[in-house]
């Protein structure tokens, strides 16, 4: 009983392996698997040799690796820039607060002193 699924799977694989490539039709500016009025059949077989295919796949892997490296570098640089910007903004806020405190202190200590002869009498 356990061999039946294996037998069915093997049969399905054998059928798929023997199916020829489907014909591709060009219908105006689009491509389809079904013929269309005025469409023409297009040869869509891969004419590359196995060595060419392997070289292309290796090139694609290398480009993906390089792209991933560039992305990581960009993300690190963006994070560093964001952190530096936040620190600069915090320093500016702290400087503004200190300047405001100094201005408030100067304002409170520089109240106009009224001479004694002009001061109102105290009860």
Number of domains the chain contains:
1
The beta-strand segments (E) located in 1-123 are 24-27, 30-32, 40-42
- Within a domain: residue 6? no
- Within a domain: residue 43? yes
Could you tell me the residue range of the domain that residue 57 belongs to? Answer: 20-100
Mean pLDDT of 70-75: 98
- Within a domain: residue 1? no
- Within a domain: residue 30? yes
- Within a domain: residue 49? yes
Q: How far is CA 24 from CA 36, 53, 65, in A?
A: 11, 21, 33
The percent of residues in the chain predicted with pLDDT above 90, rounded, is 44
pLDDT band at 17; cut points 50, 70, 90 = very low
- Within a domain: residue 122? no
- Within a domain: residue 4? no
């Amino acid at each position: 009983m356990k061999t039946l699924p294996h037998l069915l799977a093997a049969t399905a694989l054998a059928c798929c392996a023997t199916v020829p490539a489907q014909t591709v039709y060009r219908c105006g500016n689009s491509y389809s698997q079904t013929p269309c009025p005025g469409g023409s059949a297009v040869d869509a077989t891969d004419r590359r040799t196995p060595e060419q295919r392997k070289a292309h796949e290796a090139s694609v892997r290398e480009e993906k690796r390089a792209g991933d490296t560039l992305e990581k570098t960009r993300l690190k640089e963006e994070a560093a820039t964001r952190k530096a910007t936040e620190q600069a903004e915090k320093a500016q806020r702290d400087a503004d607060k200190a300047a405001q405190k100094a201005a408030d202190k100067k304002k409170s200590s520089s109240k106009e002193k009224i001479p004694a002869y002009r001061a109102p009498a105290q009860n």
